[in-house]
Structure 1
Amino acid sequence: MASTHPANVPFTEQRARELLPAAVPAADAKLLALGENAVFAAGDLVAKVGRDASLVDRARHELRVAAWLAECGIPAVRAAAPEVLSADGHPVTLWHRLPAAPRPADPADLAELLRMIHALPEPGFALPRRELLGGVERWLRLAGDAIDPADAAYLRERRDGFAAAAAALTPQLPPGPIHGDASPRNVHIGPDGPVLVDLETFAGDLREHDLVVMALSRDRYGMDPDAYDTFVRTYGWDVREWAGCAVLRGARETASCAWVAQHAPGNPAARAEFGRRVASLRDGDPAVRWYPF
């Protein structure tokens, strides 16, 4: 179904709620997250409403990955409907709601899950490469004139440089299935232990992609160094020992900066965080604190 909503309308909680009734009853839906998707809890279900129609294939991929992980016995979120639904052109996927977590997930929980994921063989379908920088253009487009065109041009230049450098990397670990956005925020503590959620970025690529996320969290987002050390001990290797770490870190920083830009229209906090991030990149200062958004 083609969208009938103006393309330049920001994807806000209100807009997502307008779309939600096409998939689930929306009266008591609770917003859990707003990013690439608006994620709502509604009764025993969780509904993920995609930001725009370009995310349909990504939603289909997530459902396929979820089914495969279930077959492998990996503790991960399970889909409640096998197909992607459409709400005015926006993809919607439905998931079984997990019980309330007794505590937040920590880096060691993530490391346990990554050890399982990184031990998996290739599935019976093709996993894409981890196109970490693939969303930069779309995020900058969605930002529009809410950001300085010079900043957008700077990020495009960084994207091109790091994409070329990343393609030439020699990995330390054998490539294979990865989560692609491996952070404790994508882990839920269930009755039987940690459960992996948000499977959209699942890929077949350098295992180091999953480990650099935590190294960057330590350096940019204020993670306790002791917690990072626990992550390293649980996983069994510190990606910072790898010569290619700086390249993947730079690529992820570029992507993370552009990701915030898409929220800038109509959101002063996003514009401020984008400004902080892009200024630190321009200044070459790796220690400036970034704040999760």
Structure 2
Amino acid sequence: MGILNVTPDSFSDGGCWLDPGRAVEHGLALAARGADMVDVGGESTRPGARRVPVEEELARVLPVVRGLARQGVLVSIDTMRARVAEAAVDAGARIVNDVSGGRADEAMAKTAARAGVPFVVMHWRGQSQGMDDLAGYGDVVAEVVAEVGRQMDAVVSAGVDPEQVVLDPGLGFAKGRSDDWALLAALDAWAVLDRPLLVGPSRKRFLGELLADPATGEPRPARERDDATSAAAVLAAAQGAWAVRVHEVRAAADAVRVEAAVRAHRMTAGQVPV
């Protein structure tokens, strides 16, 4: 899943793709580099981000969704608003990716149910402005899996077909660094929910802190975390993730292909896959 943020304030690419024409060109380039789908978002969800008016979000995303869909790109709409999701699906989007998992807008689950498209339910504890204050866990893996399981039950109760649901552990959302590593190391724990898993490690803080400058302790800048993102993508793929969400597609796609080839060779040779 290639990331296409049409926002002025996303944490690593804010302002890069505000022009709809350039955004469509970038989305096509992501697809050409190996993205199976392109995730278009018009509202930043970085820590501390403020919400934008719905009309502004619609104006940002709809021309890009239409432009990519017309070119045959499989488009995902990254939004917490039912109105934006509905309009984007009408414009050609075929996946709804809601970082709140349907919690930010009570109409979202019914909208996704009517649309009948895959619906990504991410782990979420609150809006971006205060989410860092919500990162308190005893057993982060067990708690996050349980919380997402309850939210999956809620959206299914609202009419979403269970077969539509894709889950996301929400790396970086109401998580501390150790929480992100624990979740990435234990993706097999999600098997109990029996749904595809989308993992979004791209350029996240936990990677920047791992790669911090040894002299100053400053985290590596976001745009210099793509190699580490590819490593995280391989770890996710090896644990059975359905998709990884990344900014820089080619390296991540190549890395995942290597993991898939090794796994296929093990299976052919009769070895136990790991």
TM-score bracket, shorter-length normalisation: 0.3 to 0.5
TM-score normalised by L of structure 2: 0.34
- Higher Cα radius of gyration: 1
Q: Which has the higher contact order (CA 8 A, sep 6+)?
A: 1
